[in-house]
Structure 1
Amino acid sequence: MKKADAAIYLDENRPKQNGKCSVKIRVTFDRKRKYFATGIDLTKDSFEQIFFGKRLKPDQKEIKTKVDYFERKAINVINNLNVFSFDAFIEHFLDQRNTANSVSFAFDKYIDSLKLENRIGTAVSYGCAKNSIEKFKNDLTFAEVTPSFLKKYENWMLTNGNSKTTVGIYIRSLRAIYNLQNIDKSVYPFGNGKNKYTIPTSKNTKKALTVEEIAKIYNYEAEPKSSKEMAKDYWLFLYLCNGMNVKDFCLLKWENIDGNMFSYKRAKTERSQKQSKRISVALKPETLDIIKKWGLPSLDKNAFIFPHLNTKMNAEQKRAKYKQLTKLINKYMKRIATETGIDKNVTTYFARHSFATVLKRSGVKIEMISELLGHSSVDVTESYLDSFENEQIQNETDVLTAGFKKAN
């Protein structure tokens, strides 16, 4: 019977900006290898000194003890499995941690699980949070995550130019990792009130266009078949199709279309909701024209409508395509906005906000808008809704001073 083995490994193929490399446990079985982070980063010289040198300093001994623990644990898991598989190994090796364990290791463990589920975007986001925390405090343990520490970390990020939005994202990621640990609730640092840390929230900057501004974009004439024309058409498609995002746009297949309607599930909420909602979209003549112009006709109902993905792409390649296409659309939409006199930094995100606010201003009930956007609640929808245009506010509030002139 083939036997798996585990060994300590320095990942020199992916050095970090500070010149250090991740120390990992390499598990080999049937000529296949998988790597598991230990939360320890070392230079090549330090690695060789710690694991092959004779005289170690106290801090070096501590590092060696930590890494040796993970190697022994991997070997024990392998020996205790009647039949080895990587799935079984992962289930036993990546078990719950306590307050004495490394925050970086817990992040790596969760990021590995996200990648196994092809949730690449979320994995990248958690990786950014982990890197930020490591810059502030290397070798952080959960026991050190206190309200005082969190406040100091927040101030450090703000001092270094991070926005409140970024601060909130990174600390919410840390909170999510903390919540996965089996830690005494009496020392839980997050929350409201005395001796708790409250994660800051940024003001929601509404990004919506008026109907008149959208008309300017629609009537803008770009060079036929150019990237600018494609960007304009794609942006209008996102707007007309319930403010869908670029990822869902790329994932659309011919099977989604049924007559003058199509339906789809938002990739963003497919995992977070017990029963992911199908969003229904009314196909307008303008939408059908865009499909006819840029789509790839196919008799295969499972084929993608637009020519940006293929079945051979892995999750990371698909994510790269979403980012590339979003960047292209935003680049040309900003140019179109400037050329048409729209004094706003128009991006794909404007399409979603604009869809919601145009319907609201037309008298459509928020409940219906919420359904069309695929939101989990009306409260979420309200955060998307922009205030009425300043001009409309001015007109509506003129009644407050209507009697002043008569009195004079």
Structure 2
Amino acid sequence: MATEVLTTIFHDTRRARKDGTFPVKLKITYNRERKYYPTKYSLSEEDFLKTQEPNPKKKYREIRISLNAIEQSAIEVIEKLPAFSFPEFERRFKNSVANDDVFAAFAHSAERLREAGQIRTAQSYDHASNSLLSFLNKAHTGRNKGMSLSEASSQREQLQRRKKPLPFSAVTPEFLQEYERWMLAGGKSITTVGIYLRNLRTLFNDAISNGDLHQDLYPFGKRKYQIPSGKNVKKALSMEEIGKIFDYGPRHEREARARDLWLFSYLCNGMNMKDIAKARYRQLAGDIITFVRSKTERATRQEQRKIVVTLVPEALQIIDRWGTKPTHPEAYIFPILRDGLSPEEEIKAINQAIKTINSYMKGIAQRLGIEKNVSTYAARHSFSTALKRGGVPTACISEYLGHSSEKTTQSYLDSFEDDTRRKHAALLTAFKSES
């Protein structure tokens, strides 16, 4: 089949455009019949010749790689046809080209993530896609100062209507550098930039893995574009600061509940709020609670690592104060969620709980003279740091946190005995012995 059909990249110099350039097309020849299919490129004769040089300069090399990818995609379509015909080739080639749209890939991935219940990750993909669209339109989709919610929504709708396909081949290292500068100039943090670009990198990896994109078009890595990483800002509180939070006298019930849930996270292996919200009474057995991190339960389904937490008396008291009543095995321990919620509703409820806790904890920190950011994430970081200060081996801390990245240490570690866990858990309230 491939020997009967000829493909080539054709510079159509028969008619110049207004800017003096000529369109670059894909030419297909079959049984002496020729058909031409447009690409996004229009070049002068001099520029086209530069793309054909043995070692073209960077700009022209990227254009040639992109054009070669288009031709290769056509060849792959032709080879899969049982019998060649232009109509069938055009139908399949059109679908193949549709797979070369970054925005379509974002939407498809977000949809799959939602179907899998990974709502936060899906939302992250949506935010990354909207940011990229804003960059291409050189306008912000976010709600600017003085802009009402309806105005912000109208602005996003206008941008969506102006959305055009973005070929993977157009996302070059230079494109990414400019996009990064644009985000930083617009007030995005290095952390946010990293999240958006890692999502984009995942789309490239998926496209290459699926055979929809040639490896040569991959813009990430050494000597290409490297995703920035945020500085590792220390978020752990000192034992003195944690002691102040323990001893703090809440002004009202809402503040007391927020403070106690923060402390529960700290006392329970840095358990994050999603896992706290989803914990049920059946996971409790005396002074032990066992869970699998929601963040990793899908990614490591074959080797799910259960986290076993020894509940110190203070943690048990928090459950007694704020736990759902009456208790039964399938009831949520804390009344943050309720049965029957959709994944989207669950995330909304958890996010609201985090927002409420962080708001109250910020006020508590100010009243206690703690200048650090006392967020729910700080509780997790403080847990691991407290154990490290107490001399607990890194391998133990890794297991308590449920990290899967400590492969070297975890490969030869078994679960720790209950008395060892109790000893380590006692370190979390070491400030009492200091007072």
Q: Does residue 1:122 correspond to 2:121, yes or no?
A: yes
Note closer, same or farther for the CA distance 1:304–1:97 as it changes in structure 2 (3 Å cut).
Answer: farther
Note closer, same or farther for the CA distance 1:369–1:211 as it changes in structure 2 (3 Å cut).
Answer: same
> Are the equivalent residues in 1 in contact too, given 2:278–2:332 (CA < 8 A)?
yes
Note closer, same or farther for the CA distance 1:101–1:114 as it changes in structure 2 (3 Å cut).
Answer: same
Match of 2:206 in 1: 180
Q: Does residue 1:157 correspond to 2:183, yes or no?
A: yes
CA-CA distance at 1:378 after TM superposition: 3.4
What CA distance in whole angstroms lies between the structure 1 residues aligned with 2:268 and 2:96?
44
Residues 378-402 of structure 1 show CA distances to partners (whole Å, capped at 9, x for unaligned) of 3999xxxxxxxxxxxxxxxxxxxxx
> Are the equivalent residues in 2 in contact too, given 1:165–1:202 (CA < 8 A)?
yes
One-letter identity of the residue aligned with 2:222: N
Q: Does residue 1:358 correspond to 2:386, yes or no?
A: yes
Report the secondary structure of 1:301's partner residue.
Answer: coil
What CA distance in whole angstroms lies between the structure 1 residues aligned with 2:322 and 2:96?
51
CA-CA distance at 1:298 after TM superposition: 4.0
Q: Does residue 1:374 correspond to 2:402, yes or no?
A: yes
Match of 2:355 in 1: 327
Equivalence map 1:61-76=2 (5 Å): none
Q: Does residue 1:296 correspond to 2:295, yes or no?
A: no
Match of 1:242 in 2: 269
CA-CA distance at 1:275 after TM superposition: 1.2
Note closer, same or farther for the CA distance 1:313–1:99 as it changes in structure 2 (3 Å cut).
Answer: closer
TM-score by length of 1: 0.67
CA-CA distance at 1:300 after TM superposition: 3.0
> Are the equivalent residues in 2 in contact too, given 1:100–1:143 (CA < 8 A)?
no
Q: Does residue 1:310 correspond to 2:309, yes or no?
A: no
Note closer, same or farther for the CA distance 1:351–1:380 as it changes in structure 2 (3 Å cut).
Answer: farther
Counterpart selection for 2:221 from 186, 191, 212: 191
Residues 243-272 of structure 1 show CA distances to partners (whole Å, capped at 9, x for unaligned) of 111110000001111121111010011122
> Are the equivalent residues in 2 in contact too, given 1:235–1:329 (CA < 8 A)?
yes
Residues 301-347 of structure 1 show CA distances to partners (whole Å, capped at 9, x for unaligned) of 12111111111111111101111100111111111111112121211
Residues 90-109 of structure 1 show CA distances to partners (whole Å, capped at 9, x for unaligned) of xxx9xx95587321111111
Residues 194-221 of structure 1 show CA distances to partners (whole Å, capped at 9, x for unaligned) of xx11111111112000111101000011
Report the secondary structure of 1:263's partner residue.
Answer: strand
| Structure 2 stretches lacking a partner, 5+ long | 1-91, 137-162, 410-435
CA-CA distance at 1:371 after TM superposition: 0.4
Match of 1:147 in 2: 173
What CA distance in whole angstroms lies between the structure 1 residues aligned with 2:408 and 2:350?
24
What CA distance in whole angstroms lies between the structure 1 residues aligned with 2:187 and 2:263?
34
> Are the equivalent residues in 2 in contact too, given 1:192–1:198 (CA < 8 A)?
yes
> Are the equivalent residues in 2 in contact too, given 1:334–1:346 (CA < 8 A)?
yes
TM-score by length of 2: 0.63
What CA distance in whole angstroms lies between the structure 2 residues aligned with 1:380 and 1:348?
29
> Are the equivalent residues in 1 in contact too, given 2:292–2:306 (CA < 8 A)?
yes
> Are the equivalent residues in 1 in contact too, given 2:322–2:334 (CA < 8 A)?
yes
What CA distance in whole angstroms lies between the structure 1 residues aligned with 2:200 and 2:399?
32
Report the secondary structure of 1:280's partner residue.
Answer: strand
One-letter identity of the residue aligned with 2:127: C
Note closer, same or farther for the CA distance 1:301–1:150 as it changes in structure 2 (3 Å cut).
Answer: same
> Are the equivalent residues in 2 in contact too, given 1:252–1:304 (CA < 8 A)?
yes
> Are the equivalent residues in 2 in contact too, given 1:250–1:306 (CA < 8 A)?
yes
Report the secondary structure of 1:180's partner residue.
Answer: helix
Note closer, same or farther for the CA distance 1:214–1:380 as it changes in structure 2 (3 Å cut).
Answer: farther
Q: Does residue 1:338 correspond to 2:366, yes or no?
A: yes
What CA distance in whole angstroms lies between the structure 2 residues aligned with 1:163 and 1:333?
23
Counterpart selection for 1:275 from 303, 307, 317: 303
> Are the equivalent residues in 2 in contact too, given 1:207–1:354 (CA < 8 A)?
yes
Task: Say what the alpha-carbon RMSD is for the aligned residues.
Answer: 2.1
